[in-house]
Structure 1
Amino acid sequence: MKVLVLSCNTGGGHNAAGRAILEGFLRRDVQCEMRDALSFASERVSKVVSDAYIRTVTVAPKLFGWCYRAGGAISSARRKSPVYLGNMMYARALGAYVEENRIDAVVMPHLFPAETLTHYKRRFGLRARTYLVSTDYVCCPFFEETEVDRFFIPHAALVPEFVRRGIPREKLTVTGIPVSARYARHTPKAEARERLALPERGNLLLVMTGSMGFGHVDRLVDAILPILEPEDHVAVLGGNNEILKKRLRETFAWDARVQVLDFTERVDLFMDAADLLFTKPGGLTTTEAAVKGIPLIHTHPIPGCETLNMEFFGELGMSVSADTPEGLARLAQDLLRRPEKRAAMIQRQRENVPANAADAICEFVLREAGEI
């Protein structure tokens, strides 16, 4: 059996989900590869689209939020959206690759390739089965204009929303959001800190900015410092945003309790080392944190899916959030002082966020293909 995982480089979350699925198939000795869907248009198109997305959400997040709301308003299974029309343009190239390589199943943690293969399937037919993986705790705009064989969604509570948007209930399977298996493994806190050369004593507050370094992190760290005890520390994972990291290092050079770190592949180990996590409410990072089981404080979201992710987690008691850096710091202080509240939050995460979503997706696909 041959499986193709298709993602896009619009943020790190979709690719992280894709890699988790890829890992799951490879562990089962299934022939599987992962590709950037937009590269079938061209590498230049992929870079232009990805760069435009990153610039919009970093420079003009309110504009991005407006576009998201507008997309939700016009999204309909009865007409083709601009997103659908744009992704039609490389349908022949992607469809031909799937057919010529005799791909049996295409798993997509991103809307764009699902739109593309929907168009190809309508025009030419498609032998491969297709699966769309939701990487946010919401039915995103334009999902309903795709014709895939199955939607893998994060939580049973979201089924009514997907159905209201026009997706047949019989096509929905609740699996959770796929994350790497390393988030389900737990390293003792002392060992994790030793491996990362972090201070052995005191509370460690981890601040994540996302793969591209979003957020008003300097204001947040400034608000956190007054609540810290002398032995406590703040570690900021600055992603790939070199300007942000330089500014933070200059701003907090006077306080040895603040460490600003570069992009890392060891986020799971940092979570093991930490006592609290501050992160924007991206679907993947939030899920990784919940699978790891760490008290979670959501920072300012990118308007759109992240706002809804934050609301979903908050309503189920899996995270807390506030509108200001000072409010976020007060929440951290409260959690640090109340171990029973931290324990209750972690329990709610365990009850609502499965650690084995990638395995569930792989096994479903293989079962449908008669491989297990």
Structure 2
Amino acid sequence: MPRWTTVGMIGLLSISLVRRRRRRRLRIPEHPHSHRPLPSESWRVLILSASVGGGHNAAAAVIQNDLLQAGHRACIVDGLALASPRVNRYFQWAYPWQLQRIPWLYDWQIRLSNGRRVAHAVRWLCAALWSERLLDLIGIVRPDLIVSTYPLMTAVLGRLRAQGRVQCPCAAVVTDYGVHRLWTAPGVDLHLVVSGESARQVVDADGRVEIMQPPVNPAYRVLRDREAARARLDLPRRDFIALVVGGAWGIGDLEEIAVDVAASGVYTVIVCGRNAALASRLALRFAGIDTVRVLGWTDELPWYMAAADCLVQSAGGLTCLEAVTARLPIVLYRPIAGHGRLNAETMARAGAAHWARSAEELRALLRAAAEGTVRLQPPEVQTGVPASVALLSLLPAGAPRSPIAGNAGAQEQSNEKVEVERLVSTGSAG
């Protein structure tokens, strides 16, 4: 089965390449980026994301909202779904399946692709497969700036930019502490990362590398009162509370993590995200135990972070960035294969998290923290510069930033949306 998984991915990419070469497409002329905003206009920003996990889309939504608030136009497109629906569906299936069933294979793939030659080959293949599709999108949107929150889209953008086929600035937003080589790409004008340790890992960038404020929902930036949060959520006022979160998909060894955290004697809140099967299983396992609360998807996570004494996490992705922003101490435990372990190593080096390497170490740490003999230090945000501010620095200074006004601007946005949707739909069978 592991061999079949790898062969399947290679086969899909090969079939897509053959189909792409055979398919005769109507090319939409690329926007030459000679246009600059008039006084009644704003900058146009295209954000490329992917629905593989929840972090890429969440970061894209934050950046979009900040740009819209500043009076600019910003649209998000699922770049992987646009480029290849087949590969998109495969990744959405294979990513959680590998992490749950054969994590060693996922870890091997991540380590292999972090090598210079393999990363170069992956970037070349992605560009060969998906450049024309992406250029069609750029021709419709006519952006002044392109931002990628997903590595494979960064790969295509970097190559197109280096070849001069995309003339507007391009940026990559890295939402992990650990920067895998595929998060970066030569040709990209700006890489945004969340720490100095992360910046040192950006090895293939030939543009700027800057530290940004974690791109998280503004709700996490509000430092809420702990007692008020516990009262709102009906949590015990004086207990030490550990918040266990498995991200949007509830992946990783979340059940084992929850059992080990609960065994330490602290009050345990487990958030399973959209993994309804896991939530049901844990609810049965901890039925009748009044020191454990099991949740599925919740919009109250900012309040739970305010109420908790620490976060226990295994991936180190956007959930950890949310905790960093909320000033909640982080304990990494049983990190998921591949990028999860890379994040754990990087966050531990940066002093952003405690890494418990065994069940005994985890229990001892939580018990000591609950007794007050050990104080878990909250992580520090290294910069207050929002991603949107850093991204706009790529554009000429002094440009007008007022929104497009009037019915003409609204009609233009509506037409653009229709064209983008049409472009995505034409590839739905590809």
Q: When the two structures are superposed, what TM-score results if normalisation uses the length of structure 2?
A: 0.76
With over 3 angstroms needed to count, the CA separation of the structure-2 counterparts of 1:117 and 1:223, relative to structure 1, is closer
Aligned residue for 2:175?
A: 135
| Residues 103-130 of structure 1 deviation map (CA, whole Å, 9 limit, x = unaligned) | 1111111111122233444567123211
| Residues 331-369 of structure 1 deviation map (CA, whole Å, 9 limit, x = unaligned) | 111222237723xx22xx22x544543344344345668
1:196 is the counterpart of 2:233:
yes
**Which of residues 26, 30, 38 in structure 1 aligns to 2:68?**
26
State the number of aligned residues.
359
Q: Distance in 1 between matches of 2:263 and 2:198?
A: 39
1:272 is the counterpart of 2:314:
no
Percent identical pairs in the alignment equals 25
Contact 2:245 2:311 in 1 (8 A): yes
Q: Distance in 2 between matches of 1:330 and 1:87?
A: 49
| Residues 145-197 of structure 1 deviation map (CA, whole Å, 9 limit, x = unaligned) | 442111112223444432xx3423x5222224422222111221222223334
Aligned residue for 1:147?
A: 187
**2:220 aligned counterpart, secondary structure:** helix
Q: Distance in 1 between matches of 2:214 and 2:124?
A: 24
Aligned residue for 1:328?
A: 362
Q: How does 1:161-176 map to 2 (within 5 A)?
A: 161-162=201-202, 165-168=203-206, 170-176=207-213
Max Rg structure: 2
Contact 1:76 1:144 in 2 (8 A): no
Contact 2:214 2:325 in 1 (8 A): no
**Which of residues 97, 116, 121 in structure 2 aligns to 1:81?**
121
Aligned residue for 2:345?
A: 311
1:69 is the counterpart of 2:98:
no
Aligned residue for 2:154?
A: 114
1:4 is the counterpart of 2:33:
no
With over 3 angstroms needed to count, the CA separation of the structure-2 counterparts of 1:193 and 1:97, relative to structure 1, is same
Aligned residue for 1:341?
A: 375
* 1:61 partner amino acid: P
Q: Distance in 2 between matches of 1:250 and 1:98?
A: 50
Q: Distance in 1 between matches of 2:264 and 2:210?
A: 44
| Residues 217-253 of structure 1 deviation map (CA, whole Å, 9 limit, x = unaligned) | 333333333432xxx5211001122222222111111
* 1:26 partner amino acid: L
**Which of residues 58, 75, 91 in structure 2 aligns to 1:49?**
91
Q: Distance in 2 between matches of 1:15 and 1:24?
A: 14
1:244 is the counterpart of 2:286:
no
With over 3 angstroms needed to count, the CA separation of the structure-2 counterparts of 1:236 and 1:333, relative to structure 1, is same
Alpha-carbon RMSD across the aligned residues, in angstroms, is: 2.5
Contact 1:276 1:295 in 2 (8 A): yes
- Structure 2 unaligned regions, length at least 5: 1-42, 402-430
Contact 1:2 1:102 in 2 (8 A): yes
Aligned residue for 2:329?
A: 295
Q: Distance in 2 between matches of 1:355 and 1:256?
A: 40
**1:89 aligned counterpart, secondary structure:** helix
* 1:88 partner amino acid: A
* 1:223 partner amino acid: D
Aligned residue for 1:224?
A: 261
Q: Distance in 2 between matches of 1:330 and 1:261?
A: 25
Contact 1:9 1:36 in 2 (8 A): yes
* 1:302 partner amino acid: I
**1:136 aligned counterpart, secondary structure:** coil
- Structure 1 unaligned regions, length at least 5: none
Contact 1:99 1:126 in 2 (8 A): no
